[in-house]
A and B are shown apart, each in its own frame.
Chain A
Amino acid sequence: MKRSEAIKLLESEAWTKADAIRALEVIDFNNNPDELTIRRAISNFAGSELSHRQRLQAAQKGQVTKKNKEIEQIHKEYDVKITRYKQELKQARERNETELHNLTAVNNELKAEVRRLSLNNDQLKKDNISLKEKLQNLTIANKDLDAKLTNTNLVNEQLKKDNKDLKNVVDAIKLKLAIEVNQLLKYEDSEIRKALIKLFNSTLG
């Protein structure tokens, strides 16, 4: 029997091709072995392979069961978590809605306040312009008054001096008269002397 015929035989008996190839590795096909030789040779492989696969299968089944349990546990945990998150989310949404509601109210109030302040600001701007104009007018008026005051002060200073000057001029005249009359009184004429004495006396304060 040829190698390919042996593989086909095993495949027809539900072997996998890979298993068949590995089981037939121990056989020398150059000697053209018969079916009995082949079956004897592969029985060892089939036995050990089968028990090996059964062990593996059992172990895998155990693993699968364990994994399934773990997955189930994880699912349960996730369910709990999801339920909790959903709850929290719901609460958060409710809170947000309340907050949003409040903020909207505050926002409306602020908008109204902004409108009021804006109107107020407009009025203040107008007032400010009006005040600036008034200030300008007052500054001009003030400068005018300052100039007048300076002028008045100068005039006042001048008048004070003039007044005192006049007083001194009159006093100087009186003094001069007194001195002159004093000189004239040296002469004898009695009528003139009388007149002079009267004049002299008139100079006395």
Chain B
Amino acid sequence: MNLNDRELKELFELADKIGKKRYHKLTEQDFENYKKFDYWRYINGDGECGTTQESKDWVEKHSNWYCPICGKNYSATNGKTIDHKLPRAQYPWLAMNFMNLWVICQACNKDKGEKHWYEYEHYMFVHHPELYLAVKAARPSQLLESLKD
């Protein structure tokens, strides 16, 4: 492939394609790590059975009345969710790392989706510039740094 002939947009798309390969489908261990969160969060690891007391206590301890991104009251945005700053499908080994977890509202969680961190910052900078600084403040610098270990 001759990278010189590509447009910058194409080059970014190429980098995206490679960077978004999902590793949990490659090894058994990755999938196990991925599932660990479900067992911690949901009774019997099943979302239908409700959430465990342990994870409820954690949410209680790590949130207040307002979403740290949009600043809205949770009661106005369908309630609290636990989000993986670095998505667990992409970073299965960080699925149960508490530095990677934070409580945000359901709307913001849906908006964030499966984006990688800088991808998400970029998205917020372009589409919701007024919320960009709040997102930047939550940047998991230590975890991003740990990728270089």
Contact = CB atoms under 8 A, between A and B. Distances in A.
B8 interface: yes
Residues of B contacting A: mostly: helix
A156 B27 contact: yes
A128 interface: no
A204 B23 contact: no
A174 B12 contact: yes
Nearest to B86: A164
Interface in B1-37: 7-9, 12-13, 15-16, 18-21, 23, 26-27, 29
A167 B9 contact: no
Contacts of A182: 125
Given A164-B90, A165-B148, A174-B118, A205 B12 contact: yes
Contacts of A161: 146-149
A166 B118 contact: no
Contacts of B146: 161
A119 interface: no
B8 A160 contact: no
Q: Name the prevailing secondary structure of the A interface residues.
A: helix
B122 A165 contact: no
Q: Contact residue range for chain A? A: 20 to 34
B121 interface: yes
Given A160-B23, A163-B18, A202-B9, A168 B122 contact: no
B76 interface: no
B149 A168 contact: no
Contacts of A201: 9
Contacts of B29: 153
Contacts of B126: 178, 204
Given A164-B91, A164-B147, A203 B23 contact: no
Interface in A138-180: 153, 156-157, 160-168, 170-172, 174-175, 178-179
B116 A167 contact: yes
A92 B117 CA distance: 104
Interface string B109-149: 00000001111011101100000000000000000101111
Contacts of A165: 144, 147-148
A199 interface: yes
A182 B125 CA distance: 10
B20 A167 contact: yes
Contact of B117 (A166, A171, A205): A171
Nearest to A161: B147
Contacts of A179: 125
A2 to B, nearest CB: 144
A168 B147 contact: yes
Interface of B: 7-9, 12-13, 15-16, 18-21, 23, 26-27, 29, 86, 90-91, 93, 116-119, 121-123, 125-126, 144, 146-149
6 contacts: A156-B26, A167-B20, A167-B116, A170-B12, A170-B15, A171-B121
Given A164-B19, A170-B12, A178-B122, 15 more contacts: A156-B27, A161-B148, A161-B149, A164-B147, A167-B16, A167-B20, A170-B15, A171-B117, A171-B118, A171-B119, A171-B122, A174-B119, A174-B122, A175-B118, A205-B13
Closest A-B pairs by Cβ, 4 of them: A167-B19, A171-B118, A165-B147, A170-B15
